[in-house]
Amino acid sequence: MTIPSPKPLHPSLGAEIEGLDLRRTLSAADRQAVAAALAEHIVLVFRNQSFTPAEYLAACSQLGAPMAQHYSQHNMPDQPMIGRIWHRNGQRPAELWHTDHTNRERPPKATILYGVEIPPQGGDTSFANMRAAWDGLDAEEQQRLSKLRTVNRIDRHLAAQTLDEDLEKYDIPVVHPMMRTHPEHGSKALYFHISKAHYIEGMTPEDSQGLMQDLLDRTIRDDNVYRHSWRQGDMVVCDNRAAMHRAHGDYDRQHPRTLWRIILEGDRPA
């Protein structure tokens, strides 16, 4: 099999790879080609996929090693490596810009989402190019931010909804740089999760939140955001080392919106 050339979806990030059935086994060369495309385009879209949970896990495992997710009450009982993003059981859309699982020492290199139930209107997911966000800062601010580090734990506003077993395993302070270098692409990106970063070292929590919100407000713009309108059967791979993403909760809750999520093991940000 040969991977088709990615078709750009936005000038800044996002590309579609057409005609690929990911239930089929990829060769080593094809896996390398997908990894290179992800590092270059940051977000990859594969349309018209059709998976059982076991097939989805197998497909994602070709791109990296799946890692356990917290908020395990939303994981599939018979496939616990697959998390369900849905509004059942009170789950709310993650509408803040973020990059996944920064409370881990080795956060996931990629988040993979599969569209299972899609509402007729709304419920998109947006992705922001945080390389472009970093490149848009002046040299003096880049130098200052490159010395800052965030202290990460479970989201402050979700701790009460988190199972005790997840808090015990995953609510341990982890420190990450606010600028990270992509281990494959070599580029730099702005890197933090505003609600998992409880504070920036040397700053109060309040000042830390103010700085992070200011950065989001100034650096995430239409020209570096790809907004994905879901179709049933879409599989979207997001490179957490160079992107932030957010859900749009603008859909009628009478209609189901269900995505399956798998995250892939990454390295320690540097």
DSSP notation for 166-214? HHHHH-S-EEEESEEE-TTT--EEE---TTTEEEETTS-HHHHHHHHHH
Residue 36 lies in a domain: yes
User: What is the C-alpha separation between 259 and 114, in angstroms, rounded?
Assistant: 5
Residue 126 lies in a domain: yes
pTM: 0.96
Residue 30 lies in a domain: yes
Residue 211 lies in a domain: yes
Instruction: Give residue 2's pLDDT.
Output: 78
Instruction: Give residue 167's pLDDT.
Output: 87
What's the gap between Cα 194 and its chain centre?
14
Confidence of residue 177 (pLDDT cuts 50, 70, 90): very high
Count of domains in the chain? 1
Residue 180 lies in a domain: yes
Instruction: Give residue 124's pLDDT.
Output: 98
Residue 1 lies in a domain: no
CATH number of the domain at 130, please: 3.60.130.10
Could you give the strand order of the β-sheet that contains 149-152, starting from the edge strand earlier in sequence? 174-177, 149-152, 197-200
Q: Residue 227 is encoded by which pair of tokens?
A: 């907004």
Average pLDDT over residues 168-182: 96
Residue 2 lies in a domain: no
264 in Cβ contact with 112 (< 8 Å): yes
Average pLDDT over residues 188-217: 98
Higher pLDDT pick, 160 / 256:
256
Residue 23 has pLDDT above 90, yes or no: yes
Average pLDDT over residues 133-151: 98
Instruction: Give residue 159's pLDDT.
Output: 67
Confidence of residue 198 (pLDDT cuts 50, 70, 90): very high
Residue 184 lies in a domain: yes
Domain that holds residue 88: 7-264
